[in-house]
């Protein structure tokens, strides 16, 4: 596995590889981070906040997150910078250092991407639920490439979009097996009475 150094963007959300994340950037440390990422052509890490806030002091985050790339940016009428990030690859933080401006830089180990695998027939209902959820969303989800026959893609998108606790989403991000993720998600769908 390769180890790289990336800036970390701690959020109250969980991004999966292949996922889309629209953000409004207003803090100077993250404006600088976005500028540096775009100039250098590299991404940043999205990690779920374990304790703390998205603004102010650097937050304590979970160690597993997702490397993302900026795929779109624009200036909003209110002056804030809008970006859309796309999840690329999961990583595990090895070490981190908080800079003077409270931006966290981390040495991370990139984790292997899940291979594409056919969606088992018993999880077609999960794919149908996902299709229904995505049909209700606006940009940037409308133009997202959809792979309803891929177990990893379906399980990742459901994990992102279902109304479940963030800790559950983080648990699903940390799972290496999309079939195991689908099994657990299917049980949750029954609990949520979504089918």
Q: Domain with 177 in it: what CATH number? A: 1.10.4060.10
DSSP characters over 106-156? EEEEEPPPPPP-BPPGGGHHHHHHHHHHHHT--TTTTTS---TTBHHHHHH
Q: At which of 59, 89, 110 does a domain end?
A: 110
Question: Is 116 part of a structural domain of the chain?
Answer: no
Tokens standing for residue 100? 């003077």
If asked whether residues 103 and 147 sit together in one domain, one would say: no
In tens, the pLDDT along 8-63 reads 999 999 999 999 999 999 888 998 999 999 999 899 999 999 998 777 777 889 99
In tens, the pLDDT along 104-161 reads 999 999 999 988 899 999 999 999 999 998 888 776 666 778 899 999 999 999 999 9
Question: Is 115 part of a structural domain of the chain?
Answer: no
Q: At which of 76, 110, 144 does a domain end?
A: 110
If asked whether residues 12 and 103 sit together in one domain, one would say: yes
Please determine, for residue 77, whether its predicted confidence score (pLDDT) is greater than 90: no
Question: Is 70 part of a structural domain of the chain?
Answer: yes
If asked whether residues 7 and 51 sit together in one domain, one would say: yes
In tens, the pLDDT along 94-103 reads 999 999 999 9
If asked whether residues 100 and 68 sit together in one domain, one would say: yes
The range of the structural domain enclosing residue 179 comes to: 121-192
The conformational region for residue 18 under phi > 0 = left, psi -120 to 50 = alpha, else beta, is left
Question: Is 172 part of a structural domain of the chain?
Answer: yes
CA–CA gap between residue 128 and residue 139 (Å, rounded)? 20
pTM above 0.85, yes or no: yes
If asked whether residues 101 and 138 sit together in one domain, one would say: no
If asked whether residues 97 and 150 sit together in one domain, one would say: no
CA–CA gap between residue 37 and residue 68 (Å, rounded)? 10
If asked whether residues 25 and 70 sit together in one domain, one would say: yes
Q: Residue 90: which CATH number? A: 2.30.130.40
Total tally of structural domains belonging to the chain: 2
If asked whether residues 62 and 35 sit together in one domain, one would say: yes
If asked whether residues 13 and 65 sit together in one domain, one would say: yes
- Residue 193 is given by DSSP the state T
If asked whether residues 72 and 31 sit together in one domain, one would say: yes
């Amino acid at each position: 596995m390769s180890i790289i150094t990336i800036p970390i963007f701690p959020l109250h959300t969980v991004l999966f590889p292949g996922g889309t994340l629209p953000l409004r950037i207003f803090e100077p440390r993250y404006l600088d981070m976005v500028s540096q990422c775009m100039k250098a052509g590299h991404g940043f890490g999205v990690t779920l906040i374990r304790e703390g806030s998205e603004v102010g002091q650097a937050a304590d985050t979970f160690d597993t997150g997702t490397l993302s790339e900026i795929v779109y940016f624009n200036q909003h009428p209110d002056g804030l910078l809008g970006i859309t990030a796309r999840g690329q690859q999961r990583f595990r933080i090895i070490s981190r250092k908080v800079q003077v401006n409270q931006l966290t830089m981390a040495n991370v180990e990139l984790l292997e991407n899940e291979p594409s695998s056919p969606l088992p027939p018993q999880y077609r209902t999960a794919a149908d639920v996902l299709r229904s959820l995505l049909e209700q969303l606006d940009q940037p989800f409308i133009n997202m490439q959809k792979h309803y026959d891929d177990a990893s893609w379906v399980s990742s998108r459901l994990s992102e979009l279902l109304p479940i606790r963030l800790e559950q989403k983080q648990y699903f991000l940390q799972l290496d097996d999309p079939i195991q993720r689908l099994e657990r998600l299917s049980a949750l769908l029954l609990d949520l009475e979504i089918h």
